[in-house]
Amino acid sequence: MLGKKTSYSEGTVNDLSRLKQRYEGKAKKVFATNDPELFIVAYKDDATAFNAQKKGTILNKGIVNNAVTAKIFAMLEAKGIPTHFIKKLNEREQLVRAVKIIPVEVIVRNFAAGSFAKRYGVDEGCPLEPTVVEWCYKSDVLSDPPMNDDTAIALGWATAAELSELRELSLKINSLLSEFFRVRSLRLIDFKLEFGRTASGDIVLADEISPDTCRLWDSRSGERLDKDRFRRDLGDVEAAYQEVMKRVLGEVNAGV
């Protein structure tokens, strides 16, 4: 998919006011293009937490999340994971395949943290073996409630075969991502994925992978370099996002 020929090239600056906005989420806007198979995603600096009860701005977050997502999705594509990503267009925008988002958020957990640690009364950072895969129903009004396979199938959100595919893809992505971050001195604690269906019914990875959607702890100090700095008022939020971008885009020391 990365090779799809389009009239959009890197460095394209779009007059977004001339494009039809399809959707505005908490952190991104999605625009239709003159090609029905293509959308443009524009990343914002807006930040929300606790189902939008806490709202704010993280300066240049949109630039970081666009760059980090572009780099990671290209890496995943190169390793055989189908994604919606085509190319980064400029600082805040990327070109993606048009997909319908499956309303099943996949949470993958390598270590206990956040709502999981709270729910089960375990310490944050406690290793999880095997890796835990959970589903949540993607619904802002219902605050993304957790659900099991039967619920997703009974309510028509995904078929049993699709859930198996989501689980298998998510575990593969977890292995690739954990290694990607490990050599950048980052521990991948947990993360959230969203998938979409293309017009021909193929399932592809969609949405973003960034410090908004992953918990990333510095391998040596254990310092949190992700949205928990915003959620928990830990300070230095912008600096943490910049640090993740620097490590993701920079040269790596594979021996780390």
Residues forming contacts to ligand UDP in the complex (CB under 6 A) are 107, 113-116, 144, 190-192, 213-215, 227
Q: How far is the CB of 217 from ligand UDP (least distance, A)?
A: 11
| Amino acid at position 82, single letter | P
Shorter beta-carbon distance to ligand UDP: residue 47 or 214: 214
CA distance 26 to 67: 18
225 near 213, Cβ under 8 Å?
no
Helix (H, G, I), strand (E, B) or coil at 238: helix
Shorter beta-carbon distance to ligand UDP: residue 65 or 213: 213
Shorter beta-carbon distance to ligand UDP: residue 8 or 191: 191
**Which residue, judged by CB position, is nearest to ligand UDP in the bound state?**
114
Shorter beta-carbon distance to ligand UDP: residue 16 or 56: 56
State how far Cα 81 lies from the chain centre: 14
Question: What burial class does residue 110 get, using C-beta atoms within 10 Å of its C-beta: 0-12 exposed, 13-18 middle, 19+ buried?
Answer: buried
Question: What burial class does residue 188 get, using C-beta atoms within 10 Å of its C-beta: 0-12 exposed, 13-18 middle, 19+ buried?
Answer: buried
Q: How far is the CB of 141 from ligand UDP (least distance, A)?
A: 13
CA distance 16 to 18: 5
Q: How far is the CB of 164 from ligand UDP (least distance, A)?
A: 21
State how far Cα 126 lies from the chain centre: 23
72 near 176, Cβ under 8 Å?
no
Shorter beta-carbon distance to ligand UDP: residue 93 or 190: 190
Q: How far is the CB of 9 from ligand UDP (least distance, A)?
A: 31
Residue with tokens 């085509």: 86
Shorter beta-carbon distance to ligand UDP: residue 56 or 159: 56
Helix (H, G, I), strand (E, B) or coil at 87: strand
Segment holding 180, helix H or strand E? helix 160-182
Q: How far is the CB of 131 from ligand UDP (least distance, A)?
A: 13
Q: How far is the CB of 220 from ligand UDP (least distance, A)?
A: 20
